[in-house]
């Protein structure tokens, strides 16, 4: 687990990109032993202009100014206890943030930052926070309804790294973070999933949503080519 940042520290990252008018993302990098791991932050603008920050990443000042023009940071989702590295720095920068973490991760997340809630009511029916079944209440996801359909924002339960290379890339493939299609990573299966059947059932429920347009994951590329088929394949692979 990466150490919690005690102050604002900018690690390598790209530029914010718009997925829809209400959803922006940015991909950064973390140096891990023997590999570089990509990580994604997702921003969702509520109908009143407030922002939901999912999996916070400290960005440079130019990109932070773009965020502040996009909306007002209001909710900080720490999607599990392995993704708390930048949470304290964000809370220090934006003291008004309401920090939300799933119940099973709350204790460890609070080693980095106080948690205000384990559930989210954003005052916008288009944005729904889900504690993912089968993960011991440790993993959160977002469902965001938009004009073009449903965007599903996942964290560690699905990885989709495609540009891996070298020895680090080989290791990411071996662990199931990288490959030619999305995977549930092996470390996640081992350390987080308490019920494969419950997780598989949730993946199938998402796959049954007719309006599912895309899946964003914290580690890897957007899944926007037949995401319903991808989720069904992931559920089948859990058996």
Is residue 1 in a domain? no
Pick from 185, 155, 157, 188: nearest CA to 171: 185
What is the sign, positive or negative, of the torsion defined by CA atoms of 224, 230, 232, 234? negative
Q: Is residue 28 a part of any domain in this protein?
A: yes
pLDDT (tens digit per residue) in 14-48 = 999 999 999 999 999 988 777 688 999 999 999 99
Please tell me the predicted confidence (pLDDT) of residue 177: 79
Smallest CA-to-CA distance from 40 within 165, 161, 176, 164 is with 161
Largest Cα–Cα separation, the chain: 46
DSSP 3: P
In a domain, 95, yes or no: yes
Residue 61 inside a domain? The answer is yes
User: Residue 12: pLDDT above 90?
Assistant: yes
The reply to whether 167 falls in a domain is yes
Assign residue 153 the CATH number of its domain. Answer: 3.60.15.10
Task: Report the b/e string of 18-48 with b at 16+ CB within 10 A.
Answer: ebbebbbbbbbeeeeeebebbbbbbbbbbee
**Chain-centroid distance, C-alpha 161:** 14
Q: What global pTM score does this model have?
A: 0.94
In b/e form, how buried is each residue of 198-216, taking b as 16+ CB within 10 angstroms? bbbebbeebbebeebbbbb
> Domain range spanning residue 27?
17-237
* Residue 165 included in any domain: yes
| Host H or E run for residue 203 | helix 196-207
Residue 171 in any domain: the answer is: yes
Confidence of residue 222 (pLDDT cuts 50, 70, 90): very high
The number of domains in the chain is 1
Write the CA distances from 221 to 14, 159, 201, 227, integer angstroms: 13, 8, 23, 12
Which element (helix H / strand E) includes 169? Answer: helix 166-175
Residue 221 forms part of a structural domain? yes
Q: Please write the tens of the pLDDT for every residue from 124-152.
A: 999 999 999 999 999 999 999 999 999 99
């Amino acid at each position: 687990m990466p150490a919690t940042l005690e102050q604002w520290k900018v690690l390598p990252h790209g530029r914010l990109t718009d997925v829809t008018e209400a959803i922006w993302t940015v991909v950064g990098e973390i140096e891990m032993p023997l590999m570089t791991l990509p990580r994604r932050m997702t921003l969702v603008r509520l109908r009143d202009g407030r922002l939901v920050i999912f999996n916070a990443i400290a960005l440079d000042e130019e990109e932070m100014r773009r965020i502040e023009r996009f909306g007002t940071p209001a909710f900080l989702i720490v999607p599990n206890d392995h993704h708390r590295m930048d949470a304290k720095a964000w809370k220090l920068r934006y003291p008004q943030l309401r920090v939300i973490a799933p119940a099973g991760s709350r204790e460890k997340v609070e080693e980095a930052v106080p948690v205000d809630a384990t559930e989210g009511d954003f005052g916008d029916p288009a944005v729904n926070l889900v504690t993912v079944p089968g993960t011991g209440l440790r993993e959160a996801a977002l469902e965001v309804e938009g004009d073009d359909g449903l965007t599903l924002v996942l964290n560690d339960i699905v990885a989709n790294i495609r540009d891996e290379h070298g020895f680090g890339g080989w290791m990411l493939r071996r662990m199931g973070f990288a490959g030619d299609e999305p995977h549930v990573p092996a470390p996640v299966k081992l350390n987080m999933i308490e019920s494969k059947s419950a997780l598989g059932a949730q993946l199938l429920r998402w796959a049954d949503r007719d309006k599912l347009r895309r899946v964003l994951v914290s580690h890897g590329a957007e899944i926007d080519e037949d995401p319903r088929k991808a989720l069904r394949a992931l559920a089948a692979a859990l058996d």
